[in-house]
């Protein structure tokens, strides 16, 4: 028992849980003094330390369905892993997300590995994920990777094996289920884009144990027809098990051995099968496969109109060139005629007239500039021009200019002429010339 003068006695009891992990139970007696409370941050930090030290929570696989998946610009991935009764927040850091073997999507059933800890700011526990695998599809996915590696080593997926597609196919073979929505999507797209093409359906089931054999036979039947230009192998979306027939080695080899170029449109954009790697071109959907296989009629019309325009431009160019040659011949004939010399002399006369007019204009400008200079010099000699700079002309009643203080006497009425008028002033006192030693305020004798 531990005791403290400020707290009640503390009892430490140590035991084991079902997994054999030691835990400590702390028991306190009622204290006579108030016990210091913990902050929310203290509680969150304490819970995080507990979880980070738990052997099970730091290395755990959790199975569930992905929902509320988001991929912000930071590169991290956030989603919720749920089952019918619970939900668990999950985080995949950017470095771990780059190593994931599959593209996560909402609704996927997965098993995720990581460590459970507490996000202290919100006080919520969440799983920090470092690995993901499809739930219930782990064995199939491993078989997918194994078979892909083997076929790839044989060169079945090499880009050198890919054949160019025909620009305008006459007959298009389709390998798919006759009752599936994929067939209707393909036919609707072909009717919209290129109704001139003829369609040959080689039906086969696209799911189940019998699907691989049927798909191989359907591809072979179309290869036996000599007028097939391209083959579309397609089906709608589904799980890995639903699409497994297109991962069958026999189907993959049949596509690789096809004499006719093959486009696959299997599942959705995120679904990949081994048949996609063996095909000459992989489309994300059956509709996209039909679009890649055919030109658009509207685009063909535009191309035809462009060719027509080019033909018209070429014809116009030929006509223009002939006209230019004719004009050149006519010009050569005119140059040896007397009329050509007359025209040259007229041009020479026009040039001389222009030179005379230009000389007169320059002379006029020069004379006008000299006149403005003379006017400016005369203006600077004008005594009244000085008045605009703040000077004044003082005259007595007789009009005599006052140039010295000795000319002004007390009680005289003087006119002070400034730039914009005359100011009438009266001499209040006589003053002497301050320059000659007298005080400006000294009166005359």
* Res. 346 pLDDT band, cuts 50 70 90: confident
Q: Using 50, 70 and 90 to split pLDDT, how confident is the model at 33?
A: low
Distances (CA, A) of 143 to 63, 134, 140, 149, 359: 21, 13, 5, 10, 98
Selected residue with higher pLDDT from 408 and 116: 116
- Phi and psi, residue 395, nearest 5°: -130, 155
Could you give the CA distance from residue 203 to residue 277 in angstroms, rounded to a whole number?
22
pLDDT in tens, 208-237: 899 999 999 999 999 999 899 999 999 998
pLDDT of residue 5: 38
pLDDT of residue 149: 92
From 24-28, 290-294, 381-385, 399-403, the region with the lowest mean pLDDT:
24-28
- Give residue 166's pLDDT: 93
Please report the pLDDT score of residue 436 as a whole number: 54
Average pLDDT value for residue range 127-145 = 79
Percent residues over pLDDT 70 in the chain: 85
CA distances from 148 to 140, 141, 145, 155, 280 (A): 12, 10, 5, 11, 16
User: Looking at the predicted structure, is the pLDDT value of residue 185 above 90?
Assistant: yes
- As a whole number, the mean pLDDT across the chain is 83
The rounded distance, in Å, linking the Cα atoms of 169 and 167 is 6
Whether residue 251 has pLDDT greater than 90: yes
124-138, 143-157, 172-186: least confident range: 124-138
pLDDT of residue 79: 94
């Amino acid at each position: 028992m531990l005791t403290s003068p400020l707290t009640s006695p503390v009892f430490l009891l140590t035991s084991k849980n079902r997994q054999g992990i030691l835990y400590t139970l702390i028991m306190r007696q009622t204290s006579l003094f108030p016990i210091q409370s913990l902050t929310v941050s203290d509680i969150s930090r304490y819970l995080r330390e507990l979880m980070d030290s738990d052997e099970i929570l730091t290395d755990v696989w959790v199975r569930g369905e992905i929902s509320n998946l988001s991929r912000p610009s930071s590169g991290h991935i956030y989603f919720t892993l749920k089952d019918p009764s619970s939900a668990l927040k999950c985080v995949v850091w950017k470095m771990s997300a780059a190593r994931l073997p599959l593209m996560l999507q909402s609704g996927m059933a997965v098993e995720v590995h990581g460590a459970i800890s507490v996000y202290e700011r919100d006080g919520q526990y969440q799983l920090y994920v470092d690995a993901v695998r499809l739930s219930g599809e782990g064995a199939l996915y491993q078989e997918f990777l194994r078979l892909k590696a083997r076929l790839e080593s044989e060169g079945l997926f090499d880009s050198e094996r890919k054949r160019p597609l025909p620009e305008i196919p006459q007959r298009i073979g389709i390998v798919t289920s006759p009752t599936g929505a994929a067939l209707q999507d393909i036919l609707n797209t072909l009717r919209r884009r290129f109704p001139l093409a003829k369609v040959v359906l080689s039906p086969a089931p696209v799911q189940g144990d019998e699907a691989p054999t049927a798909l191989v036979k359907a591809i072979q039947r179309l290869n036996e027809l000599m007028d097939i230009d391209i083959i579309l192998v397609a089906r709608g979306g589904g799980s890995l098990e639903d699409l497994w027939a297109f991962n069958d080695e026999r189907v993959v080899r049949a596509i690789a051995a096809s004499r006719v170029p093959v486009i696959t449109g299997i599942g959705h954009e995120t679904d990949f099968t081994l048949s996609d790697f063996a095909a000459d071109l992989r489309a994300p959907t059956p509709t996209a496969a039909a679009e890649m296989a055919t030109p658009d009629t509207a685009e063909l019309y535009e191309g035809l109109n462009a060719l027509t325009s080019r033909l018209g431009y070429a014809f116009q160019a030929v006509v223009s060139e002939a006209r230019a040659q004719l004009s050149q011949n006519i010009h050569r004939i005119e140059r040896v005629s007397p009329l050509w010399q007359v025209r040259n002399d007229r041009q020479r006369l026009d040039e001389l007239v222009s030179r005379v007019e230009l000389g007169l204009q320059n002379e006029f400008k020069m004379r006008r500039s000299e006149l403005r200079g003379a006017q400016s010099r005369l203006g600077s000699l004008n005594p009244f021009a000085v008045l605009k700079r703040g000077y004044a002309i003082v005259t007595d009643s007789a009009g005599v200019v006052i140039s010295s203080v000795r000319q002004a006497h007390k009680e005289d009425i003087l006119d002070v002429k400034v730039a914009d008028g005359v100011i009438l002033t009266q001499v209040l006192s006589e003053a002497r010339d301050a320059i000659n030693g007298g005080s400006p305020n000294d009166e005359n004798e």
